[in-house]
């Protein structure tokens, strides 16, 4: 922790939030949104996991686009069966509230919320926000309650690098490979790290 604090003091590249290590991920995300809303003035606020290969330039280009709807939730949208067996992975203790299938929500690996959405989350009374066991489902539930625009973008969860990938996330690698080596390997490939922000045909059209 001391080394981490030294790096943060030197580079100002870490944000420390008021949450215990044992705090569940949905509560940590709520603390994060409250902190960044009061500390930074931004058009979008992004949550990204540390097991993805991210192209920040492409993410910035995506979020800079004009949108008719200002209350926007951008990510790789998904849905799937609700696990109601406590002996299985991804068990949801509040499964009775959800039925057999989850509502559409963004993958937790990478998503972005517009400033108006984060304002609504950050200023809401904490006890008024439903908490499920998993952060992506919990945030998705808040988005439904707030009637925001869901924007699905598959380039935010590409399994391999492409000329348009915003983030590369191999879910098969999650917990079963050395993610640091994997990301270094991706970064050393031209298609991942050195391809243009936008494909040539898109740049020509603009």
pLDDT one-digit tens code per residue, 109-136: 999 999 999 999 999 999 999 999 999 9
pLDDT of 206 reads: 52
Burial class for 143, CB neighbours closer than 10 Å (0-12, 13-18, 19+): buried
Q: Are strands 105-114 and 72-78 parallel, antiparallel or unpaired?
A: antiparallel
pLDDT above 80 (res 203): no
pLDDT tens digit sequence for 32-89? 999 999 999 999 999 999 999 999 999 999 999 999 999 999 999 999 999 999 999 9
Taking the model in full, what pTM does it have? 0.90
Place of tokens 């399994």: 159
pLDDT single digits (tens) 12-31: 888 888 777 768 899 999 99
What is the distance in angstroms between the CA of the first residue and the CA of the last residue of the chain?
A: 47
Q: Do residues 121 and 142 make contact, with C-beta atoms less than 8 angstroms apart? A: yes
- Res 132: pLDDT: 97
Q: Identify the three-state secondary structure at position 31.
A: helix
Backbone dihedral angles phi then psi of residue 44, each to the nearest 5 degrees: -135, 150
149, 71 in Cβ contact below 8 A? yes
Residue 205 has pLDDT above 80, yes or no: no
Task: Please list, in sequence order, all residues whose beta carbon lies within 8 angstroms of the beta carbon of residue 199, skipping any fewer than 6 positions away.
Answer: 163, 164
CA angle 198, 202, 205 (to 5 degrees): 145
Q: State the angle between helix axes of 25-39 and 115-123 in degrees (0 to 180), rounded to the nearest 10.
A: 110
Q: Do residues 71 and 146 touch, judged by C-beta distance below 8 A?
A: yes
């Amino acid at each position: 922790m001391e080394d981490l604090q030294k790096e943060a003091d030197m580079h100002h590249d870490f944000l420390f939030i008021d949450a215990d290590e044992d705090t569940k991920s949905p509560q940590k995300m709520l603390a994060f949104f409250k902190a960044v809303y009061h500390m930074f003035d931004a058009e979008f606020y992004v949550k990204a996991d540390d097991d993805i290969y991210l192209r920040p330039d492409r993410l910035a280009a995506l979020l800079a686009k004009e949108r008719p709807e200002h209350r926007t939730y951008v990510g790789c949208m998904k849905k799937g069966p609700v696990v109601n067996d406590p002996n299985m992975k991804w068990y949801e203790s509040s499964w009775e509230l959800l039925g057999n299938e989850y509502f559409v929500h963004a993958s937790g690996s990478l998503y972005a919320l517009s400033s108006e959405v984060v304002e609504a989350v950050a200023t809401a009374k904490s006890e008024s926000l439903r908490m499920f066991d998993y952060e992506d489902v919990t945030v998705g539930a808040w988005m439904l309650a707030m009637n925001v625009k869901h924007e699905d973008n598959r380039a935010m969860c590409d399994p391999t690098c492409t000329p348009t990938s915003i983030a590369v996330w191999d879910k098969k690698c999650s917990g079963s490979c050395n993610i640091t080596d994997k990301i270094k390997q991706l970064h050393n490939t031209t298609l991942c790290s050195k391809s243009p922000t936008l494909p040539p045909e898109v740049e020509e059209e603009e």
